Amino acid sequence: MSKSDYLTQLGTYLIEQMQRYVVKALQAMQLLEQRIIKNWSNRRSVQRFGYLFLVSAVLSVAIASCSGGTLANKADVKLKLVSFSVTKAAHDIIIPKFVAKWKQEHNQNVTFEQSYGGSGAQTAAVIAGSQAADIVHLALPLDVNKIQQAGLIKSGWDIRSPRNGIVSRSVAAIVTREGNPKGIKTWEDLAKDGVKVIAANPKTSGIAIWEFLAFWGSVTLTGGDEATALDYVTKVYKNTPVLTKDAREASNLFFQQNQGDVLINYENEVFLAEKSGNKLPYIVPKVNISIDNPVAVVDKNVDKHGTRKVAQAFVDFLYSTEAQREFAKLQYRPVNPTVTQEVTSQFPQIETLFTSQDLGGWDNIQKKFFGEGAIFDKIQAANKA
């Protein structure tokens, strides 16, 4: 048990003991008052009654102050949420629901400081301390693992949480221009000559890592070997003239600045673009990767800030039916089984859905593809040569 948790429990115990003693004292006073009233004509008794009435009133106020109930507000709590760029629309809806629920149940005000950006960049900021997050909701488990390795999150964060720490899901989508003039239908088509692809940078963005793994797995998990996969992915990145820092910047470049023939992005981000008036045809490939977004309490920070209880409650709320329905409304694929059953028919069906584990797990993925001098760096070097 941390020092912060111990002090919290000790404080709660002392308050409860004080309440018991005060209640017993008031009960004793009530008995005395009843006796005094019987002897009302006695002047000395009247004086004593007045004295006891005053003390009783003071102690009643003390009970109200110690109880933490409806008569006294608890101190406000401020949480710092650090997340990847495309989750803002969901959190803007979910956070007020949690705040209202917590206020009703605990009579305590909770406010949120929020930060959104590329998942890789957000992870680096949390590790460096420039983002003192109580909670992280990131694009991929690899980023949470990095924060754990830096000593800010306890090991086993995934097995301590529902759904192995995964709170939202998506798949990859390919957006084309009106009429699909380049004839893009599958992942393979992205390697064609003359196709300009808009994608993000795996060094700073979570979607970029998922994109890369989708490209690679579309070959190796459908019968192709790694040499074929390397050749294919190299051609795709040769068709990518610029790598954006995150998914939102990629969307802006494609939709707002009208650059590129094809955009690779989260299915839910494409849906959000449609709601904003940027409606273009898109394909959800039948061979796809399960894009799993984790959430975690940053142990070192919540213990320092004294916010563990509320932070954990918010994380738990994100898995609730109420919150998962809000994710689903924004085209995230929910992890709550009840909500999944409710909305499954609304999503395009995937024939081959693979996961990070099918590609060796996150430790292997980081070392093989994204470490210094690994496959992604080699592909970039080859395309610049």
Residue closest to 244 by CA, chosen among 218, 263, 220, 268: 263
| Residue 25 included in any domain | yes
Q: What's residue 273's pLDDT?
A: 82
Q: What's residue 160's pLDDT?
A: 86
Same domain (yes/no): 132, 247: no
CATH value at residue 224:
3.40.190.10
Same domain (yes/no): 176, 310: no
| Residue 349 included in any domain | no
| Residue 282 included in any domain | yes
| Residue 348 included in any domain | no
Same domain (yes/no): 250, 177: yes
Same domain (yes/no): 177, 152: no
Same domain (yes/no): 268, 364: yes
Write out the residue range of the structural domain in which residue 305 sits.
Answer: 77-169+293-339
| Residue 360 included in any domain | yes
Same domain (yes/no): 24, 97: no
Same domain (yes/no): 257, 226: yes
Q: What's residue 359's pLDDT?
A: 97
Same domain (yes/no): 117, 140: yes
Same domain (yes/no): 240, 378: yes
| Residue 222 included in any domain | yes
> 67, 85, 111 — which closes off a domain?
67
Distance CA 62, CA 57 (A): 9
Same domain (yes/no): 190, 265: yes
| Residue 152 included in any domain | yes
Tens digit of pLDDT at every position of the chain (385 positions): 444 444 444 444 444 555 555 445 545 545 544 554 444 444 444 444 444 443 344 334 344 444 444 334 579 999 999 999 889 999 999 999 999 999 999 999 999 999 999 899 999 999 999 999 999 999 999 999 999 999 999 999 999 888 999 999 999 999 999 999 999 999 999 999 999 999 999 988 899 999 999 999 999 999 999 999 999 999 999 999 889 988 889 989 999 999 999 999 899 988 888 888 888 899 999 999 999 999 999 999 999 999 999 999 999 999 999 999 999 999 999 999 999 999 999 999 999 999 999 999 999 999 999 999 999 999 999 988 7
Q: What's residue 384's pLDDT?
A: 85
| Residue 345 included in any domain | no
Same domain (yes/no): 278, 298: no
Q: What's residue 137's pLDDT?
A: 98
Three-class secondary structure of residue 11 per DSSP: helix
Same domain (yes/no): 62, 85: no
Per the structure, the count of domains in the chain is: 3
Q: Which two tokens stand for residue 315?
A: 């994380």
- DSSP secondary structure, 287-349, as one string: EEE-EEEEEEE-HHHHHHHT-HHHHHHHHHHHTSHHHHHHHHHTT-B--SHHHHHHHGGGS--
